Chains A and B, each alone.
Chain A
Amino acid sequence: MKKTLITGLLGATLALVAACGPLQEGNRAVSLLSGVFGSLSGADDSPSEGGVAMTRAVIEAQEADLLRVSIISRDATAILLKVATNGSKVTWASQDGLSLAFDRGLLVASRGFGDDLMGTDISSAVASLRGGGNHLRTLDFLNGLDEIERRTFQCSTVVTGSESLTIVERTYQTTVLEETCTDSNFGFKNTYWRDRDGTIWQSRQWISVQTGYLGYQRL
């Protein structure tokens, strides 16, 4: 469906006469404007927790595993459900169309956040969590030109302490590790709260330049 730019945009502003009929259901001109305003306000993709108070009983009652996630730069929080497992990778999704995939607790992909992480090799990063070390990490991003941009970071992981971590009525003894990564013009720092079995119960990890950091807790 091709329209002239003018017809499309100004047609949408004609609030006097509304578009109707099944052929007009996907009238992009209307959603174009709402989309522009929506994305400016950031309201489009703010996950919400739904207002239910989180208790251990509520968590136990769920069939699927839960992950509490926040996007720190957007000041937004959501509960994600475990929706798929592929080898060591687990995909968690929200009802409003966001998903995150983790491999042994490390973020490998995001979808629906705008600036998304398309994939990454985390095997050496996982190894470094057993007490620290240096490693390389390559992250794949999808840019505005629909091309994959591969960025390689030089990283080092150090143990910064141990912490007794409480998540919804349960307490875990964790080691806190920090992974610091830099490339020629950018750097980020991930933090992991890891128990003795290797489970990461809480973490703060970088997604991408525009989306910023992710925080999560296993529930």
Chain B
Amino acid sequence: MVSFYSFIGFAGAVAASIAAAPVVAQGTGEDSWRATYTLFGTPGIIDMPSAVALPDGEISANLSAFGDTRRATFSFQVLPRLTANFRYSLIDAYDRSFDAQYLLADEGRIRPAVAIGFRDFLGTGRYSSEYFVATKTVSPNVRVSGGIGWGRLGTVNGFTNPLGIIDQGFETRPTDRPGTGGTVLAKQFFRGDAAFFGGVEWRLNDEWTVLAEYSSDSYQRETDRTDFVRESPLNFGVTWQPNESYQLGAYYLYGSEVGLSATIIVDPTSRPTVSGLDQAPIPVAVRSEMTAAAASWGTPQVQAGAVQALGAIMSAEGFRLIGAEITGSTLRVRYENGRYRAEAQGVGRLSRLLTNAAPLDIDTFVLEPSQNGIALSSVTIRRGDMEQLENAPNATALSYDRVLFDDASGPAPAILYDDPTPAFLWGISPYLEVTLFDGESPARGDVGLEASFQYELRPNLVLAGSYRQRLLGNRDEVGRISESTLPDVRRTGLRYGAESGGGIENLFVSWYARPGRDLYSRVSAGYLERGFAGVSSEVLWKPVDNQLALGAELNYSIMRDFDMGFGFRPACSDINCTDYSGEDYDIVTGHVSAYYDFDNGFVAQVDVGRYLAGDWGATFSLDREFNNGWKVGGYFTLTNVEFEDFGEGSFDKGIRIEVPFDALVGTPTRDTAGTTLSSLERDGGARLRIDGRLYDVVEGGHQGQMQDNWGRFWR
């Protein structure tokens, strides 16, 4: 039990930190009645759902407790009508579940809103239920919901399934399910007895809401296996929502239990500092007003001096100049933006800087934003447009229309900048590593020191490494290793550094290049990650203005030893991984990938190929990328590993979230924080973990994302 409370505390800390940002009221001015969060973390009443959607894009974390039951739920409003939830709960044992609800119809003047929902449709099925629910706001402050449920929601006063008219098969709900869970339980959907449920929300004022409901869930499992006593189908509750950032609830449940819930709500579409606290940009210098005109770059000596001077000014503004040259009346500048998340903002700021620094006879700027030493695109901007549109109405849209995007695979500008930054950089920082949901303990953690260095041979050729040493923590207590017949490429991951207390996290050289127009390449070699050393190579085809990109990756890797030194190890030879003998494990893996950037902010990715355990299959990912840098997405991998062989979860899947630090801090930074929920470390569908895969490096510098971020051009 103690460990569960530490999990709750931990989840609370995560939620609080996510919520640290958008706590300022957005004040949309609409008097829309927000959804009430249930004990399941979903929109509804207390335990029962309602046909209310959350605001588009909203993210929430909900913790609830009553009796022996504990639930922690992460929710995301994927689309205006689609709500998705992931839950980690304690029923009689730890369990995870996925829910989805789709709003079929909005509320009309007479017609109620109608939604269809699936609870626990992908897990072990302990909460498995399906429902239709209708909700009507009968007076400005009273909202009534009623519905019909199957599965757990059909266990109180259930009646023979009305769908039996269509097919008698609907009348019985099959109980067989894979022991490992994790598959879609489609054979059970809308089968077995059905029952009615319903409830009412009564809003006392903006902050307080009183709730009452009739629950059609008999809590059979809890009654059988825990001390839970269910004496009534009626639940009562009250919620307090003082602002748009959190909601607290207290309940009297099933005639016997007191329950509590807390929900933290984050709106990724808003930012507490709105446009951000970035320093004001250097104003545009208009040629007709320039008193101290920059001299023209006539002689080679003047050119070299001018490029050095430009590089120094740029570095004060967060840019690293790679090189510059003048051809006719065009100034071409290749640079790396190290400060601004949005390349569009970098382009806008650098253009204004150049109006101050460029000779008077220059009328066109060609900017080549780069990352990892390779140019991502070429953006052509007329100096006259900068002069004309600065602080003008509608300047953002007008300037976007006048800019040209192109590929930048050509040679670097003629005069390279001699960067005074040392090629060798080092650092020491504390780290905290947390392992979640390892099956026995919800969370384990280590605190220690990390030493890292990077040595830049050339901007696109970098040797980097890091070494960690644990100071305190409990990650050395490795729990049970789950049984499997697959080579232990990931499931024994907890053993890395467990005994040695640390070691070489990574130590490898990476080389980025532009082999041709629209083409990008990467080669990484060395100790790539904790588990594997080897060589990884990748090519990406991504035209600067294209929504589709194609990639291929080919890797050879050897499995590293648990002490995280330079040595290697074989795969274990028994199902419990107590015996290691034989040859070191090595494997050739690779994928072909397709990426598609939809107009509505969604990015889809499909990778097909061979995974680390030698299995073949495909990974499907879908992320929603907000223009301000927030990303929320999910993925799953299906390979030729049988579900029984894979182990708990049946196949690899997860939810991931990436938070841009500039949204939290307000000041510009390219750093992000990312975390993945729910991925169980198993051996099937496992890939090499490599930082700096090409699509992530290239995407920000291409037209699609620049257009999304163009609002920041004049910021």
Contact = CB atoms under 8 A, between A and B. Distances in A.
Interface of A: 1-11, 14, 16-17, 19-28, 31-32, 35-36, 39, 44-45, 83-87, 89, 91, 93, 97-99, 101, 103, 108-109, 111-112, 114-116, 118-121, 138, 140-148, 150, 185, 208-210
Given A86-B283, A116-B275, A144-B270, A8 B673 contact: yes
B390 A146 contact: no
Nearest to B339: A26
Instruction: Enumerate the 10 nearest inter-chain pairs by beta-carbon distance, A residue then B residue, closest first.
Output: A23-B427, A97-B279, A21-B427, A99-B280, A144-B271, A84-B283, A35-B665, A111-B280, A24-B427, A142-B275
Interface stretch (B151-159, B449-457, B526-534, B604-612): B449-457
A23 B452 contact: yes
Contacts of B245: none
Contacts of A10: 13, 432
Contacts of B675: 4-6
Contacts of A1: 670-671
Interface stretch (B77-85, B393-401, B591-599): B393-401
Contact of B391 (A14, A32, A119, A147): A119
Nearest to A28: B671
B284 interface: yes
Contacts of B280: 93, 97-99, 111-112
21 contacts: A2-B673, A3-B671, A4-B673, A5-B14, A6-B14, A17-B449, A22-B422, A22-B427, A35-B665, A36-B664, A83-B283, A86-B283, A86-B387, A86-B391, A99-B280, A109-B391, A111-B279, A116-B715, A141-B275, A145-B271, A150-B394
B20 A36 contact: yes
B521 to A, nearest CB: 21
A147 B664 contact: no
Nearest to A83: B283
Contacts of B275: 114-116, 118, 141-144
A11 B448 CA distance: 9
A33 B65 CA distance: 30
B283 A91 contact: yes
Contact of B277 (A24, A39, A108, A150): A39
Interface residues of B, number: 80
Contacts of A8: 661, 671, 673
Given A31-B667, A32-B661, A118-B395, A146 B628 contact: yes
Interface in B662-686: 663-667, 669-675
Interface of B: 13-14, 17-18, 20-22, 24, 26-27, 29, 269-281, 283-286, 289, 342, 387, 390-397, 422, 425-434, 447, 449, 452-454, 471, 626-628, 659, 661, 663-667, 669-675, 691, 708-709, 711-712, 714-715
B715 A114 contact: no
Contacts of B24: 210
B298 to A, nearest CB: 27
A108 B392 CA distance: 8
A22 B421 CA distance: 10
Contacts of A99: 280-281, 283
> Is chain A's interface secondary structure helix, strand, loop, or mixed overall?
mixed
Contacts of A5: 14, 17-18, 659, 673-675
A19 B427 contact: yes
A14 B454 CA distance: 24
Given A20-B428, A111-B715, A145-B269, A140 B289 contact: no
A164 B671 CA distance: 53
Given A4-B673, A146-B342, A140 B396 contact: yes
A10 B277 CA distance: 24
A12 B20 CA distance: 14
B563 to A, nearest CB: 22
A10 B275 CA distance: 27
A26 B714 CA distance: 25
A142 B709 CA distance: 11
A149 B283 CA distance: 22
A114 B691 CA distance: 33
Given A8-B671, A91-B283, 10 more contacts: A19-B429, A97-B278, A97-B280, A118-B715, A140-B395, A141-B274, A144-B663, A145-B269, A146-B342, A210-B274
B284 A23 contact: no
Nearest to A210: B274
B278 A112 contact: yes
A144 B453 contact: no
Contacts of B29: 185
B431 A11 contact: yes
A103 B279 CA distance: 21
Nearest to B671: A28
Contacts of A208: 274
Nearest to B664: A32
Contacts of A2: 671-674, 691
